Amino acid sequence: MCEGPFLVGFRRTIDLFIYLSVAVGIVLLPQLFVLVPTWLFFSVLVGWLAYVAVAVLAAAGRRIAYPLAFVLSILTLAVSLPQPEHYSYVAAGLSLASSTFIVGSVLQVVLLVLIPIYLYNTRTRVKQT
């Protein structure tokens, strides 16, 4: 695929946010291990491993990484945002738990905005050639 410099930079920015999501997961997993039931911890671990797989695909330059990251972002927010416990951490003040929630949520929202823009622009570019 032939991408101009803007799209290459845009893709690298998205890749960075995917990698940061994986890093936030590294911070999140030990916190969850002591707080949640085992089944929930393993559910989150599976989701994090899916994000690791998407990060590997992105690093390999595979276009499929971006729709997958988009879906994972939606799933992450759909599971995380409705939980009232997450907001109690934020209301209690800045802590590792509240910071992880805030940073993770912001990363997912940014991915939800950037990925469709990138996919639209690459689709338009492919049609023009």
Residue 38, pLDDT score? 94
Spatial distance between the Cα atoms of 41 and 34, rounded to a whole number of angstroms: 9
Residue 80, pLDDT score? 84
* 4 pLDDT tier (thresholds 50, 70, 90): confident
* 6 pLDDT tier (thresholds 50, 70, 90): confident
Q: Over 70: is that where the pLDDT of 76 sits?
A: yes
Q: Each residue of 77-113: pLDDT tens digit?
A: 998 887 766 666 666 777 787 788 889 999 999 999 9
Question: How is the chain split into domains, by residue range?
Answer: 5-128
Please, are residues 113 and 14 in contact by the beta-carbon 8 Å criterion? no
pTM for the structure as a whole? 0.87
Q: Each residue of 16-74: pLDDT tens digit?
A: 999 999 999 999 999 889 888 999 999 999 999 999 999 999 999 999 999 999 999 99
- Angle subtended by helix axes 65-80 and 5-35, to nearest 10: 40
Residue 124, pLDDT score? 63
Q: Over 60: is that where the pLDDT of 128 sits?
A: no
* 2 pLDDT tier (thresholds 50, 70, 90): low
Q: How many helices (H) and strands (E) does the chain have?
A: 5, 0
